[in-house]
Amino acid sequence: MVKLKTEEDLVYMRENAILVSKTLAYVGKLIAPGVTTLALNDAAEKFIRDNGAEPGFLGYGGFPYTLCISVNDQVVHGFPSGYALKEGDIVSVDCGTKMKGFNGDSAYTFPVGNISEDTRKLLDVTKQSLYKGIEKAVAGNRIGDIGHAIQQYVEGYGYSVVREMVGHGIGRSLHEAPEVPNYGAAGHGKKLLPGMVICIEPMINAGKKDIYLDDNDWTVSTRDGSNSAHFELTVHITEGAPEVLSTFEFIENDIKL
């Protein structure tokens, strides 16, 4: 069942969305060749707790870390580790917060130093596809309108959409109904209603759409070894234009990418 949010709920959801956005920016400033992904995870956990919240992912379904950190061909749910980032890598950082009974969730794929033009294009197209999806997050539209907009845009550049991993509703639970696929048919799926809050998160592969699950039962990677990019924002459906609760402004205003 989809849980529509009250104005009081939205106050707390906005607070979480801003904190998770600031956390991503804080982590992004630390990303550089030689930095381990575990160091990024530990910095994020301290930042979240210092700001009066709890890491939303830590312990969720048994997940053992604060951040999902997915490098290069890892699509999502990568484990922080002793891996030291290298020049030319890309690293998806997915972060959640929990505060005042509600959750925040956002993700951004960062370049590590100088990256190739092809890789830069993958990041740019994936992020732009997120905004294409958000444009369709309007009351009266349907879930399929969001996925269709994302799919059409990225496939126009020769990229592919991961099918098994999707966006989701969010609120008191990190994952709520409805599921929000990044592909689909316009005019199909659940109708969008004012008060719905959803996470739209394109996961786009440079190569084929096929993925596999790592032995840790969490990390998802591309089967063909191609790079994958992931961007996520939290969106409130209103009577008018969608209200984007989380933001990339803290990242893009403060970090040279």
| SS3 category, 146 | helix
Q: What angle do CA 167, 40, 94 make, to 5 degrees?
A: 0
Residue 67 lies in a domain: yes
Q: Are 181 and 150 in contact (CB under 8 A)?
A: no
Residue 177 lies in a domain: yes
Q: What angle do CA 53, 200, 218 make, to 5 degrees?
A: 70
Cα dihedral 146→150→152→156 (10° resolution)? 170
Residue 1 lies in a domain: no
Domain encompassing residue 33: 7-254
CATH number assigned to the domain comprising residue 172: 3.90.230.10
Under the banding of pLDDT at 50, 70 and 90, the label for residue 256 is confident
Under the banding of pLDDT at 50, 70 and 90, the label for residue 94 is very high
Mean pLDDT of 33-45: 98
Share of the chain above pLDDT 90, in %: 98
d(CA 30, CA 42): 11
Q: Are 234 and 245 in contact (CB under 8 A)?
A: yes
Mean pLDDT of 118-136: 98
At residue 205, the pLDDT reads 98
pLDDT digits (tens, 9 = 90+) for 144-174: 999 999 999 999 999 999 999 999 999 999 9
Count structural domains, the chain.
Answer: 1
pLDDT digits (tens, 9 = 90+) for 191-229: 999 999 999 999 999 999 999 999 999 999 999 999 999
Nearest C-alpha neighbor of 204 from the set 146, 84, 123 = 123
The chain-wide mean pLDDT, for the chain, equals 97
